[in-house]
Amino acid sequence: MPTALDPAALRTPVVAWFEEHARDLPWRAADRTPWGVLVSEVMLQQTPVVRVEPAWRAWMRRWPGPADVAAASTADVLRAWDRLGYPRRALRLQECARAVVERHGGDVPDDEAALLALPGVGSYTAAAVRAFAFGRRSVVLDTNVRRVLARAAAGAALPAPAQTVAEVRLAASFVPADDAGAARWAAASMELGALVCTARAPRCDACPVRDVCAWRAAGRPGDAHADRRRTQAFTGTDRQVRGRVMALLRDALGPVPQEAVDALWPDAGQLRRCVDALLADGLAVRVPGVDDDTPATYRLPH
């Protein structure tokens, strides 16, 4: 994915724009902690900021550090996760907290290898924590940054569905050599993608790099991967069914009887498949009845 665009021609106006337009988010505040940044990154996976911010604030008030989350009951963690979606992230976050306590004395490490060894931490999250928590140089490449670089540097409407080696090399070529500059670029390019260079309705007239953007210069050609980007409707999906089961278990004051679970969804086969998936993921527990006349019950894990 070669580019003739001078990195400074992109970085300088984007960072200047960020200084004026950056959102005031709590995980960017001067008193942020590495753990708070890590929590925000896990919560923000596939969940918009408007839903994450109040959940993050409540979570950090209750469990300000890894040791607090590690000592909490899994049921409380899942209840606090509430409707952020993809609740397996909550389980991984608690496992991560326990690993931070056991391996690092309760302090989130700044070393990339140590971060990657934590449960639920992949290459993006490790890079983001290094940049946003510790101000270290790293290649932070989320969907927003990928889109900005695909358009401005490569002239494509959207990046390829799967990240490529060439794309990572391109992104690395735009990262400043110094830690502070690299961290600022990571935040600025991500913010530009989130607020201006959006996927469906990019605001090119408000873009600080509209005059050097290869995609705009090419007449904003369509997405070559459009047929591979169809998103599944939520209604009727297994995800909706699992969400209903999890909501029932979260809101219950005690064990939930089998008949209450059975009443959640008309398709018994789909419901059983989804319940089995929750049990396999460790998000729910089935307690068999004491005899054939006593129905099973379901609860959150302790």
Catalytic residues: 41
Residue 281 neighbours by CB distance under 10 Å: 12
The DSSP element (H or E) to which 287 belongs, if any, is strand 285-287
Please, what's the b/e burial string for 199-224 (b: 16 or more CB within 10 A of its CB; e: otherwise)? eeebeeeebbbbebbbbbeeeeeeee
Residues near 287 by beta carbon (within 8 Å), at least 6 away in sequence: 255, 296, 297, 298, 299
First vs last C-alpha separation in the chain: 49
C-alpha gyration radius of the chain:
22
Residues near 15 by beta carbon (within 8 Å), at least 6 away in sequence: 184, 185, 188
DSSP state of 27: G
Say which amino acid occupies 65: G
| Dist CA 80 CA 71 (whole Å) | 14
Handedness of CA 96, 101, 103, 108 (dihedral sign): positive
| Structural contact between residues 287 and 299, judged by C-beta atoms closer than 8 angstroms | yes
Token pair 């004051």: residue: 253
DSSP state of 84: S
| Dist CA 140 CA 146 (whole Å) | 9
The DSSP element (H or E) to which 245 belongs, if any, is helix 238-251
Token pair 């690993």: residue: 99
